[in-house]
Amino acid sequence: MVPSFRKFVGMVVLVIFVVVYAFTAMVIGDITLQDSSNLARFVYFAIAGLLWVIPAGAIIWWMEKSGKNQT
Q: Which domain holds residue 50?
A: 3-64
| pLDDT at site 65 | 82
In a domain, 51, yes or no: yes
Asked if the structure places residue 69 within a domain, the reply is: no
Residues 8-29 pLDDT 10s? 999 999 999 999 999 999 999 9
29-55: per-residue pLDDT in tens?
Answer: 999 999 999 999 999 999 999 999 999
What pLDDT does residue 12 have? 96
Instruction: Let me know if residue 70 belongs to a domain.
Output: no
Q: Is residue 57 part of a domain?
A: yes
How many distinct structural domains can be found in the chain? 1
* Domain membership flag for residue 71: no
pTM assigned to the model = 0.80
Closest to 60 (Cα-Cα) out of 5, 4, 7, 22: 7
- For residue 66, pLDDT over 90 is answered with no
The amino acid occupying position 55 is P
Return d(Cα 12, Cα 49) in angstroms, integer: 20
Q: Output the pLDDT for position 1.
A: 73
* Cβ proximity of 63 and 7 under 8 Å: yes
Within a domain: 59: yes
